[in-house]
Chains A and B, each alone.
Chain A
């Protein structure tokens, strides 16, 4: 039987579609109402609430916690102040990415981490190899539910329940009380918008959920399913495991394994030469950077709207714009004399209703990943392959000021 999240008893009644799917063995709603657009626009226009509890949750605690994370992670959590969060990834010894996730630094010796796949044993084995006690990391997946409150009005909704919301800065973390329960609150999310995530103890899950829904009633707070979330994350240029990349751990061949640079996370490595911190994969990553052996990088392509119109017009149909979200591999070609000059492929495709253009997350050689480079993206239109003009844009298509701004800077909203 599928696992139920702590919020499920309430959410079950609110899913108007009757459709559920599995996420990490849990029941989740792809959408709560038949209009995915409505949920999507709540993220960008008011506020939306997502149950993200199926993520695996780990707690690192004790004197060895920081040491283990500094050795495990590509980014240096030692540079993160208490009460701050960090988006990072961890690699195998060959420099291939195992997973990505957000670390919440609660104090000098306590951290929380979410992960898409089980990874308790991985970190424990690493701890053992460093001579640390395995109990430095524990699986707290069942102890918490996580709610993501995202959207421009999320701050004022949350402010009705806790004083901690107003002053919390982008990637800040704090403990606070919501509806009488201890909640770990971070200003993080997967939508690229202003937003928060709340770690709620299992026993308080329904009361916190009810309090939030109640606080957002006048502000169009809308439950969002995973489909609207995934549309938003493409606009934010955020990669999804098993769609845009695979864990090196469960890949079959190296073609499916990717380094941070190849995933477009070269920015995580910018300070690499400023410290000699030894972390898993460092040697391979340093070699890759020195030799420039990265096979590709991952970036965003903005499809030319006129050309998108043209290929559909030529096929005699209207260009689809309504709730278009695909997780399929689409080939990318150089626009050169050579026909079908394969350059890479896209993994996610989304017609952004907000930005009024189709977007793709794509893997192309580094020399092509220059803003403005023109490429052909292969669509299938009425059963036939048709190339459409797309331009390299960079991953983040949507990046509003409110995402990172402090409360006082956006009083006017």
Chain B
């Protein structure tokens, strides 16, 4: 039965803005708790930056995000994701080509990895074991803080003061060795840590990749330590730091989330761009869509990044000045691009021609510390790196349904391509970047270009335009200590609430941050549901 003309617009208990993976997780949790939830997405498909698109018949491209590691295990259980089709295919190995035909091929067996690294240095092989174990211990220790609403450092509420005291006690109680490593990550560059640990450059370069990926920092910058640790916080099947590909790409994953959301009674509406969040007297009333439609709800949650949440969806003038001031310093500076290829056959690495399994994981094109630093230096001045660091993977070697039999899709995550170009625009330079990436691949995999059937270049500008992530930052803001945990996105506003009552944030710009973790969506739901219950 349709509503009579002129009747009240449909009322929802909650409206969630943005169907990226965090918006989906969040909406699903709210729906599961019995809230009548509407999830709004401006594009024609859900997933945000986690989508899979068939750009060439039979070839499934992970346009943006391409792997999963930090997905919180409790989300899988709470939201019945397995029932809805979750399948994370573990990455079998990591391949690190060096200069002059050297390479490292590491897998899940610690002893085999020892012997692989010992080809270059027995001391490094031993150091890698120690470091891997110590990092794993640190990650295990930090995990509870990743999976809870962080304390509010600006509050004098007794519960918050107790939470901060608990945090200090936790730090003091850490095993000294583990704590020392944590402090090192927080205060040193990846290069400093690596120089104190390893002697061989190829080993250092392999480890350094985690410290720079997705970020506008050199491995010699202080911030790279923490970024490295962040990427090691991933957890798959209880093995800290392991990554996987979702069946059907990361778009396959967000489709699973959408099914979960709808199964709990959540409603998803695509091609529905929210122009503004409506509020009155410090209390949220609902949202207004492009075209003027108003949807009322006592709870509105933004899964967009902090710039969108606090300065586009609402008027910055309505926000406290100190929050806006802090957000002006909040760094996006997107620096990563994606270049995706359809290939007629697998590329080959000289000397390992018969090893198709090379590509069943990440391939790091960043063969030395100097190479990585040089790549960063080029980009610092506002041009994209001419020999970029590339993290590539050929998902179709693991998931054959991503491409026609015998053919492949290759995802290349390209570092040091700054959002703000010193000269020209990304619209002019898009294909030049594609050419650079292709030339770089050609150097490591001779004959690569001949395999290319199709190429898609996604610049930071394209990420911003298509997905809505400010300046194309894939994490919704850099993973710097000044904008993590107590300060994500701003001190005092790190608990998913906003200055407007009933208006919340649940995107990667909140704790624990970027990557396909679902953590922000889950923790924000915990906060919203707690507040709703208190209010009821």
> Is the Cβ of A120 less than 8 Å from the Cβ of B115?
no
> Is the Cβ of B109 less than 8 Å from the Cβ of A22?
yes
Judge if A24 is at the interface, Cβ distance under 8 Å. Answer: yes
Judge if A267 is at the interface, Cβ distance under 8 Å. Answer: no
Contact among A121, A139, A250 for B127, CB-based, below 8 A: A121
Interface 1/0s, chain B 102-125, versus A by CB < 8 A? 000000010110110000001101
Minimum CB distance partner of A138 in chain B? B122
Interface positions of A from 230 to 288, Cβ below 8 Å from B: 249-250, 252
Per the bound structure, the CA–CA distance linking A22 and B130 in Å amounts to 21
> Is the Cβ of A25 less than 8 Å from the Cβ of B114?
yes
- Measured between C-beta atoms, what is the minimum distance from B141 to chain A in Å? 10
Judge if B137 is at the interface, Cβ distance under 8 Å. Answer: yes
> Is the Cβ of A249 less than 8 Å from the Cβ of B130?
yes
Contact among A24, A141, A250 for B133, CB-based, below 8 A: A250
Judge if B432 is at the interface, Cβ distance under 8 Å. Answer: no
Q: For residue B122, which residues in chain A have a CB less than 8 angstroms away from its CB? A: 118, 120-121, 139, 141
Per the bound structure, the CA–CA distance linking A345 and B126 in Å amounts to 31
Contact among A25, A122, A139, A250 for B111, CB-based, below 8 A: A25
Per the bound structure, the CA–CA distance linking A22 and B133 in Å amounts to 21
Minimum CB distance partner of A122 in chain B? B126
Is chain B's binding surface mostly helix, strand, loop or mixed?
Answer: helix
Q: A124-B123, A252-B140 are in contact. Are A118 and B114 (CB under 8 A)?
A: yes
Per the bound structure, the CA–CA distance linking A22 and B114 in Å amounts to 13
> Is the Cβ of A118 less than 8 Å from the Cβ of B133?
no
Q: For residue B127, which residues in chain A have a CB less than 8 angstroms away from its CB? A: 121
Minimum CB distance partner of A139 in chain B? B122
Q: For residue B140, which residues in chain A have a CB less than 8 angstroms away from its CB? A: 252
Interface 1/0s, chain A 12-53, versus B by CB < 8 A? 000000000010110000000000000000000000000000
Q: For residue B133, which residues in chain A have a CB less than 8 angstroms away from its CB? A: 249-250
- Measured between C-beta atoms, what is the minimum distance from A287 to chain B in Å? 17
Per the bound structure, the CA–CA distance linking A321 and B133 in Å amounts to 39
Minimum CB distance partner of A254 in chain B? B175
> Is the Cβ of A118 less than 8 Å from the Cβ of B126?
yes
Q: For residue A2, which residues in chain B have a CB less than 8 angstroms away from its CB? A: 112
Chain A interface size, as a band, is 10 to 19
Q: For residue B137, which residues in chain A have a CB less than 8 angstroms away from its CB? A: 252
Per the bound structure, the CA–CA distance linking A25 and B114 in Å amounts to 8
Q: For residue A122, which residues in chain B have a CB less than 8 angstroms away from its CB? A: 126
Contact among B109, B112, B115, B126 for A119, CB-based, below 8 A: B126
> Is the Cβ of B126 less than 8 Å from the Cβ of A121?
yes
Is chain A's binding surface mostly helix, strand, loop or mixed?
Answer: mixed
- Measured between C-beta atoms, what is the minimum distance from B177 to chain A in Å? 9
Judge if A406 is at the interface, Cβ distance under 8 Å. Answer: no
> Is the Cβ of B129 less than 8 Å from the Cβ of A25?
no
Per the bound structure, the CA–CA distance linking A3 and B125 in Å amounts to 15
Per the bound structure, the CA–CA distance linking A120 and B112 in Å amounts to 17
Minimum CB distance partner of A25 in chain B? B111
Per the bound structure, the CA–CA distance linking A227 and B183 in Å amounts to 45
Per the bound structure, the CA–CA distance linking A22 and B113 in Å amounts to 13
> Is the Cβ of B123 less than 8 Å from the Cβ of A24?
no
Interface positions of B from 174 to 196, Cβ below 8 Å from A: none
Interface positions of A from 281 to 311, Cβ below 8 Å from B: none
Q: A22-B109, A249-B133, A252-B140 are in contact. Are A3 and B126 (CB under 8 A)?
A: no
Interface 1/0s, chain B 211-247, versus A by CB < 8 A? 0000000000000000000000000000000000000
Interface positions of A from 106 to 125, Cβ below 8 Å from B: 118-122, 124
Interface 1/0s, chain B 9-36, versus A by CB < 8 A? 0000000000000000000000000000
Q: For residue B115, which residues in chain A have a CB less than 8 angstroms away from its CB? A: 3, 25
- Measured between C-beta atoms, what is the minimum distance from B473 to chain A in Å? 35
Minimum CB distance partner of B176 in chain A? A94
Q: For residue B111, which residues in chain A have a CB less than 8 angstroms away from its CB? A: 22, 24-25
Interface positions of B from 137 to 193, Cβ below 8 Å from A: 137, 140
- Measured between C-beta atoms, what is the minimum distance from A78 to chain B in Å? 27
> Is the Cβ of B112 less than 8 Å from the Cβ of A121?
no
Q: Which residue, of A1, A24, A118, has the highest number of chain B Cβ atoms within 10 A?
A: A118
Per the bound structure, the CA–CA distance linking A122 and B126 in Å amounts to 8
Per the bound structure, the CA–CA distance linking A389 and B127 in Å amounts to 45
Per the bound structure, the CA–CA distance linking A341 and B227 in Å amounts to 48
Per the bound structure, the CA–CA distance linking A139 and B127 in Å amounts to 14
Interface on A for B, CB 8 Å cutoff?
1-3, 22, 24-25, 118-122, 124, 139, 141, 249-250, 252
Interface pairs (17), CB distance under 8 Å:
A3-B115, A25-B109, A25-B111, A25-B112, A25-B114, A25-B115, A118-B125, A119-B126, A120-B123, A121-B122, A121-B126, A121-B127, A139-B122, A141-B122, A250-B129, A250-B130, A252-B137
Known: A3-B115, A121-B127, A249-B133. 19 other contacts (CB 8 A): A2-B112, A24-B111, A24-B114, A25-B109, A25-B112, A25-B115, A118-B122, A118-B126, A118-B129, A120-B123, A120-B126, A121-B122, A121-B123, A121-B130, A122-B126, A124-B123, A139-B122, A249-B130, A252-B140
Closest 3 CB pairs of A and B: A25-B111, A118-B126, A121-B123
